[in-house]
Chain A
């Protein structure tokens, strides 16, 4: 029985008593997905908060058996992606958004293997590198971005990604691979550009 199975059992028995554990277990994931889909911290927090509130209301309307059968990771992922779509749509109707800013306050869960006392320059460079990857993700078409974020940022398995998106596994795999290929093309183009600037 994994963590989520225990959680669904607890939620089925006592929704109000167990819901905080669901938030604790999934807040970093949902916020990360929202941030990497939307690129803006305020929007991401709004989407993640909305997703949890909707999840709670849905659970309150389900009977115990339905809650026990839920695959929480995928189910919550579907909800947060829906909220991301609404936040993005609402923003789109209000005209262009300010450029996405990411970095500083968004600390990584897994710091890359860092020496005990890493120099400030290295830390800054690592953050800058992360920002560049975040920006490349945001430049991907939404369907590729979604697939790459779920598979490689959130770490869902292909069957889980397929279930969360309601698409065939083969389609999802192709979208992840095409997304990666595009990221690689961008990286290559950036290097070319950098090289040209150096030699100009």
Chain B
């Protein structure tokens, strides 16, 4: 080793002086990437501007708030994670726009850590309801194999951290009334349903008349009133029913697409 030169103080100082500080963006990027902190940004919706938060695991919340500070406090309280302003990644922005436009095939990863398996089952089931249609709470309960848990389904939907992306607004009361909504109350729920092509007032009127299901006299199939298969039904073929039993007695079989069977039993 003697042949090799030793480093001089001058060189050592020059090389040690090449140490730099990491850019301020590095730490937030790391923490968000692994899901120990979240980014948030504003998005447009039928309800006006909303705040959406996400991290490397997926979208973690959709909220309606007055200002950023309020959101950051709320986010920390509900998730235990800091939320920092960020720019929505273009791919996620496109996916969200398409989802809000009713495209259910677009995949959006969700970060639902800290929520119970039951809640997650409820939210996943809500994702099955197409834009422009609604189902009662009892249908969700029956579909996830918990027919008696109708009230718990309502509570779980009320706790949906990602409203609009998980369309909990498409789940209504069994009597046809619109019901509660976590993202700013029932009037917002009406606004979104109307934006999706439904008429909340007419739906509630039909509910008050006791119409729970609608049958088609030509096919003898009975559906939930908003099922897409009934959309082209002629008005003269339209037969409202109070219950599945009533429809069955009239010779109608339940639709295989909207599956009014189990829910009607539960309701």
Contacts and interface: CB of A to CB of B under 8 A. Distances in A.
Contacts of B15: 133, 137, 148, 152-153
B16 A153 contact: yes
A54 to B, nearest CB: 10
Given A31-B26, A53-B34, A152-B12, A174 B20 contact: no
A183 B27 CA distance: 33
A144 interface: no
Contacts of A73: none
Contacts of A48: 22, 26
Interface stretch (B3-11, B149-157, B233-241): B3-11
Interface in A99-153: 105-110, 112, 129-130, 133-134, 137, 148, 152-153
A108 B15 CA distance: 11
Interface stretch (A20-28, A85-93, A160-168, A189-197): A20-28
A68 interface: no
Interface of B: 1, 4-7, 11-23, 25-27, 29-31, 33-34, 36, 56
A152 B17 CA distance: 9
Given A49-B29, A53-B30, A180-B11, A28 B16 contact: no
A81 B19 CA distance: 16
Contacts of B17: 108, 110, 112, 130, 133
Interface in A16-59: 16, 19-20, 23-24, 27-32, 35-36, 41, 45, 48-49, 52-53, 56-57
B30 A174 contact: no
B14 A109 contact: no
Contacts of A137: 15, 18
B27 A23 contact: yes
A183 B31 contact: no
B30 to A, nearest CB: 4
Contact of A16 (B26, B30, B36): B36
B34 A31 contact: no
A124 to B, nearest CB: 15
Given A16-B36, A52-B30, A184-B5, A130 B18 contact: yes
Contacts of A24: 27
Given A45-B25, A49-B29, A52-B30, A31 B14 contact: no
A28 B24 CA distance: 10
Given A20-B36, A153-B15, 7 more contacts: A19-B31, A31-B22, A49-B30, A56-B30, A177-B5, A181-B4, A184-B11
Contact of A153 (B19, B33, B36): B19
Interface residues of A, number: 46
A32 B26 contact: no
Interface of A: 16, 19-20, 23-24, 27-32, 35-36, 41, 45, 48-49, 52-53, 56-57, 105-110, 112, 129-130, 133-134, 137, 148, 152-155, 173-174, 177-178, 180-181, 183-184
Contacts of B19: 28-29, 32, 108-110, 153-155
Contacts of B5: 177, 180-181, 184
A35 B19 CA distance: 9
Specify which of B21, B22, B31, B34 lies most central, judged by the most chain A CB atoms within 10 Å of its CB: B22
| In the A-B complex, the 3 residue pairs with the closest CB atoms | A177-B4, A31-B22, A152-B15
B33 A31 contact: no
B8 to A, nearest CB: 9
A118 to B, nearest CB: 15
Given A23-B30, A49-B30, A174-B1, A106 B14 contact: no
B11 A19 contact: no
16 contacts: A16-B36, A23-B26, A31-B22, A31-B23, A35-B20, A48-B22, A49-B29, A56-B30, A56-B34, A137-B15, A137-B18, A148-B15, A152-B7, A152-B11, A153-B16, A177-B5
Contacts of B18: 32, 36, 108, 130, 133-134, 137, 153
Given A28-B19, A32-B20, A112 B13 contact: yes
B4 A174 contact: yes
A23 B25 CA distance: 12
B20 A178 contact: no
A179 B157 CA distance: 64
